[in-house]
Amino acid sequence: MTDSCFTPHPFDAAIALTPAGPQAPNDFLGATQPAWQNMVGPFGGITAAIALNAVLQHPRLLGEPVSLTVNYAGATADGPFTATARPVRTNRSTQHWIVEISQPDADGQPQVCTTATVFTALRRETFSASDMPMPAVPAPEAVARQPLPPGMVAWLQRYEMRPVSGGIPMQWEGQTHAHSQSRLWVRDAPPRALDFASLAALSDIFFPRVWLRRARRVPAGTVSMTVYFHADGAMLAGSGSGHLLAQAQAQAFHQGYFDQTGQLWNEAGQLLATTHQVVYFKE
């Protein structure tokens, strides 16, 4: 809801969707926002959040997100788009969704930019544990905020980033480094209470691992990303607008593609989400 006295957070403005109407009950209308521009099209994390938000807004939603897979079929052009969220199977406590984000082509026909699948469920109280404890790092207040040089893509200004280790190379000397691991504290800028949509976007916060591994800024982009949510809504609410510790590392680079895994913990040390993605790169 907006009025003359209320300006939505830049994140909420970017993922805002309007139901298309009773003739198209699975369709939601949105538009890209310049504040989230990447090198080509919007930041992939905001696209993932939009796909998830189409499910979260759907009147047939059951439960809360457990996993999200986003496939970036092509760049989203500036302007309006349609997000279609279709529940393909609903069981007693689980639900499976297919989502498409599309825009009209030159002939006015829908052109799919992004596909996604979402799995939601009614969670139950059961055994809970984590085999991935948060690493020991300085508190966010003890880590300097990363300055942004002029000319960087717009979406970087939407986050407060405090690199702990494995920051973006300051010199592109093209020498192979020993590893591709990065750790940083991060949150929305300005701060915003965490929810599933913003956690999905934050799961794509990492610059391409090949840049760190080689100290060479080659063209790269995510092709497919999966996010597993280990937190329920109450845990996310308890995280408030605090920082998340985000960690990522690649596994292998081969013939133009690499994969990377990532983890995100809140300041209390709770593992909120893990992510896995495959990224293309060019020499």
pLDDT the model gives residue 5: 67
Domains and CATH numbers, the chain: 10-121 (2.40.160.210), 140-281 (2.40.160.210)
User: 27-31 and 18-19: which strand pairing?
Assistant: antiparallel
Tens-place pLDDT, residues 235-269: 999 999 999 999 999 999 999 999 999 999 999 99
**Confidence at residue 171, expressed as pLDDT on a 0 to 100 scale:** 77
Taking only the tens place, the pLDDT of each residue in 164-196 is 999 888 777 777 777 899 999 999 999 999 999
What's the whole-number average pLDDT of the chain? 94
1 has pLDDT over 50: no
